């Protein structure tokens, strides 16, 4: 969990063939590969976001994530692997939508 950008992530951000990477952990479970859509609105004292996850295997049928707070990690896929910034110091109240069968 990086607090600052590495040299490889800065280079990836400046490149023309950028591949974004978003890290999503909720309650120590990695949901990054299930993410279909992410929207985050940052305002003073009112950060919020909407995240939509894939649920074609019905994994979320018995998981309640509504109203959970978490810190997404934003970054890029680089030559060194997936790199991101976001260390959990600023929690983001979220709306989590999990459409059945997607």
* Segment of 23-32, 64-73, 90-99 carrying the highest mean pLDDT: 23-32
Position 11 in a domain:
yes
The whole-number pLDDT of residue 4 equals 62
Tell me: pLDDT of 99 over 80: no
SS3 65: coil
pTM of the complete model: 0.66
Structural domain that includes position 63: 7-97
- Report the distance separating Cα 86 and Cα 2, nearest Å: 6
Position 2 in a domain:
no
Position 35 in a domain:
yes
């Amino acid at each position: 969990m990086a607090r600052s950008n590495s040299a490889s992530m800065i280079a990836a951000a400046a490149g023309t063939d950028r591949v974004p990477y978003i890290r999503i952990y909720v309650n120590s479970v990695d949901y990054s590969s299930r993410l279909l859509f992410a929207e985050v609105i940052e305002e003073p004292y009112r950060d919020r976001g909407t995240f939509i996850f894939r649920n074609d295997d019905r994994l979320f049928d018995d998981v309640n994530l509504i109203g959970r707070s978490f810190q997404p990690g934003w970054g890029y896929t680089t030559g060194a692997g997936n790199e991101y910034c976001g260390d959990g110091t600023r929690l983001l109240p979220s709306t989590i939508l999990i459409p059945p069968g997607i």
